[in-house]
Amino acid sequence: MILILSENADPKGRDYTLLMEALHGLPGIQVKVHRIEGELRAVTEVYLIGDTKPLVIEEMQALPCVERVVRVSEEYRILGRHRDDSRPSHFEYQGLRFGQDTLHVFAGLCAVDTPEHVEQMCRALRDNGQVCTRMGAYKPRTSPYSFQGHGRACLDYVFDIAGKHGIRVIAMEVTHESHVDEIREALRRTGSPTGAMLQIGTRNTQNFELLKAVGRQQEFPVLIKRGFGITLDESLNAAEYMASEGNSRIVFGLRGMKTNMGDPHRNFVDFAHVPVVKRLTRMPVCIDPSHSVGTRARAPEGILDVMHATAQAVIAGANMVLVDFHPDPPTALVDGAQALLLSELPLFLEDVAIARDAYQRRAAAARRHAGD
């Protein structure tokens, strides 16, 4: 059961103390308080864990400071959608709204290689009206002998250059808890010219200690990729791990599944799950067409498979697109084979806009017919 406290609930106030006394007196119930610092206001949610069936909603509702009560099912307690659950399906970060109703494109480098390429990438984004990007500094690679990313060494120039070009959020994978501190310190050092969305890669979806560490901090929102060899339920529970530690500003990312059934794509594209994740949870859904398709193959009419897969997800309501571009793919140190060219950015964005428009028209038609 979740108690959502009224906006002016003061943890030092008398009403709050009375509430806590009442809750701690409930037999067999564990009380966990989450304070979610939003851009506009802070929300306090109190989780009651244990056998909450005997608790009467109206009685809980009548306790001091309580604004609303949500009885949750066992699944995805914090992030899930529950009956009579009007909790939001969006969050704000860096002045941007990330929700199940918005769409942001994060085009950028799979892996940062040189400051010149970061500069060219960010300039192209600015010229095309973009304020988000992806920049990999810590790269989890299959072979220990492959380039592992520049790590901490590139952070200052990445943040400086991105900020100079008006980039507000950079999606950046972390593979270890210490990377979060490195990112935080580099942002402070450079005067916070931009923001970061921490990325949990598909290989780390069930790295529970990393999930807990990223969940304990509330400064950065998190993009968690679906694990490429586990069920959707297991991946959604991985997101719930972070939320249970306190950070529920989470975007869920689909990036394809590991199986030969999807050949000749690098992974089996799983974007039919976009509406499924939106139905089961309140998380915005991201898709990564680059790591799922993995090639620059083109269909007979001339459209790249990467763009087809993107459009298929956007027309189904995807909220974020994480996509690899590179100014000079043959020299890219990671995943050059799937990178789009900077000259393809205007077409990519136009294609996304066409699919988004079609999605909005489809949703409007569905609403119209529901009223018939």
Residues 170 and 133: beta-carbon distance below 8 Å? yes
DSSP 325: B
Site for ligand PEP, residues 118 to 147, rule: CB under 6 A: 136
**Applying CB under 6 A, does 160 fall inside the site for ligand PEP?**
no
Q: Which residue ranges make up the site for Mn ion (CB under 5 A)?
A: 110, 335
The least CB distance from residue 114 to Mn ion, in Å, is: 17
User: Which of 1, 107, 110, 320 is the binder for ligand PEP (CB under 6 A)?
Assistant: 110
User: Which of 173, 245, 305, 351 is the binder for ligand PEP (CB under 6 A)?
Assistant: 173
CA distance 231 to 229: 7
Residue 293: alpha-carbon gap to chain centroid: 20
Provide the residue type at 328 as one letter: D
Query: From Mn ion, ligand PEP, none, which one binds at residue 201 (CB under 5 to 8 Å depending on kind)?
Result: ligand PEP
Q: Which is nearer to ligand PEP, 19 or 250 (CB)?
A: 250
**Applying CB under 6 A, does 225 fall inside the site for ligand PEP?**
yes
Task: At 241, list the tokens.
Answer: 């791990």
> Torsion angle, CA of 69/249/83/8, rounded to 10 degrees?
20
Residue nearest to ligand PEP (CB): 201
User: Which of 104, 168, 255, 265 is the binder for ligand PEP (CB under 6 A)?
Assistant: 255
Q: Which is nearer to ligand PEP, 72 or 239 (CB)?
A: 239
Task: At 88, list the tokens.
Answer: 């939001």
**Applying CB under 6 A, does 273 fall inside the site for ligand PEP?**
no
Q: Could you give the C-alpha distances from 260 to 97, 100, 265, in angstroms and in order?
A: 37, 31, 9
The least CB distance from residue 127 to ligand PEP, in Å, is: 24
**Applying CB under 6 A, does 326 fall inside the site for ligand PEP?**
no
The least CB distance from residue 253 to ligand PEP, in Å, is: 7
User: CB 261: neighbour CB atoms within 10 A?
Assistant: 8
Residues 317 and 274: beta-carbon distance below 8 Å? yes
CA distance 120 to 195: 19
Query: From Mn ion, ligand PEP, none, which one binds at residue 288 (CB under 5 to 8 Å depending on kind)?
Result: ligand PEP
In 174-328, beta strands by DSSP E: 195-200, 222-225, 250-254, 285-287, 320-324
Query: From Mn ion, ligand PEP, none, which one binds at residue 173 (CB under 5 to 8 Å depending on kind)?
Result: ligand PEP
Give the binding site for ligand PEP (CB under 6 A).
110, 136, 173, 201-202, 225, 255, 288, 291
